[in-house]
Amino acid sequence: MKIRVLFFAQLREIFNASEKDFEVKEGTTIQGFVDELKNQGYEQLGKISLSYAINESWTKAGETLKSGDQLALLPPVAGG
Amino acid sequence: MYLTKNAISVPEFLSVTPHSSCGALATFVGIVRDHDHGQKVEKLFYDCYEPMAEKQLCAIVEQTKTQCKVNEIRLLHRIGWMEVGETAVVIAVTSAHREEAFAACREVIEAIKKIVPIWKKQIYHNGKSDWVVCQH
């Protein structure tokens, strides 16, 4: 199934993109997806304390991804 | 809308007349400063997940209004590139009495720093840059 992943801040620079589509297997969790990215050469992700949002709402790493989800990988925020 | 890519005019933002039941107007203005942890800052870039940030800011305003029992909370957060001395965020709270207005103003800025998906990149005079990790 296909999901869309959104990148912000340093992640835009790591992936050289603001968003990207990925094919993932049914039952994949966010944590599983991120671990897969690390194995595919994006090991820098391991150095960033990530939070996650699906379809614009905060969620947990254990959440299972669904087809069409828009997953945002969120580094520590620093507004204000 | 709580986000803007344009320069913020604080006098213009504060020109709204408070409701006649309000005896207090508390404000917070966040300004781009020229240093951080001993390094000279030249400019900033605020990245933002805009649709989610708008929702989070709206939720912060509504929750804080209820929690602190204030009349009105207005805020504007700038995103994009900013120079030293420019206004990054402005918050204005009106209430019957000062205690609630001060408390709500602080509550809003602290919540922004913790839960709104906005990120700050600092560009230093020596040409280096980094993404800021707030200590909250």
Task: Report yes or no: A21 and A3 within 8 Å, Cβ to Cβ.
Answer: yes
Determine the residue of chain A that is closest to B136 in CA distance.
A78
Cβ neighbours for B130, distance < 8 A, ≥ 6 positions apart: B121, B122
Please tell me what DSSP assigns to residue A77.
Answer: P
Neighbours of B20 (CB within 10 A): 6
Task: Report yes or no: A16 and B126 within 8 Å, Cβ to Cβ.
Answer: no
CB contact under 8 A, B112 and A9: no
Q: Which of residues 59-98 of B touch A (CB under 8 A)?
A: 77, 88-89
* Tens of pLDDT, residues A19-69: 999 999 999 999 999 999 999 999 999 999 999 999 999 999 999 999 999
pLDDT of B122 above 70 = yes
Q: With an 8 Å Cβ cutoff, is A74 touching chain B?
A: yes
Determine the residue of chain A that is closest to B119 in CA distance.
A78
* Angstrom distances, CA of residue B66 to CA of B71, B97, B104: 9, 15, 10
Distance from CA of B49 to the nearest CA of A (A): 7
* Tens of pLDDT, residues B64-116: 999 999 999 999 999 999 999 999 999 999 999 999 999 999 999 999 999 99
Distance in angstroms (rounded) separating the CA atoms of residues B4 and A16: 25
Distance from CA of B96 to the nearest CA of A (A): 26
The larger pLDDT score, comparing residue B133 to residue A9, is at: A9
**What is the number of CB-based contacts under 8 A between chain A and chain B?**
68
